[in-house]
Copies of this chain bind each other. A is one copy, B any other.
Amino acid sequence: MEQSIAEKIIALEKEALTEWNKGNPSVYLALYSQEITYFDPFAEKRFDGFKKMKAFYETLRGTISVDKSEMNNVLVQGNDSMVVLTYNLNSYSDGKWNCTEVYCLEKDGKWRIIHNHWSFTKPNLGL
């Protein structure tokens, strides 16, 4: 994989996350492929497809306000048409997260996310 691809993917993610932290999901939605699949800790099963993700993210619009967050251990693996970006997110007011984003170079020449998996880092389990 060319280094420039890793830099591009990280820049896309940072931009989307910055807006997310202001309560704006539009930049993530613009990055999501029609075939997006999605896991998060609050869902009973995987979300499949852009329509479901848009409906879900619209319910969160305006509800999130994170002043400070850090993307740690940022890594991009893969090849020139598909990569996986991973990082540990410290989102101060919203906990610590493990993040996996699979990006594909789509036919129109744009990188889009086909799979996204968010989970808590060492969740405090009520076991």
Please report A residues at the B interface, Cβ cutoff 8 Å: 35, 37, 39, 41-46, 48, 72-73, 75, 77-79, 81-82, 84, 86-88, 98, 100, 102, 104, 114-115, 117, 119-127
Contacts and interface: CB of A to CB of B under 8 A. Distances in A.
Contact of A125 (B43, B73, B102, B126): B126
Contacts of A35: 77
Copy total for this chain: 2
A79 B41 CA distance: 28
A123 B123 contact: yes
Contact of A117 (B77, B98, B127): B98
Nearest to A85: B115
A45 B88 contact: yes
B115 A100 contact: yes
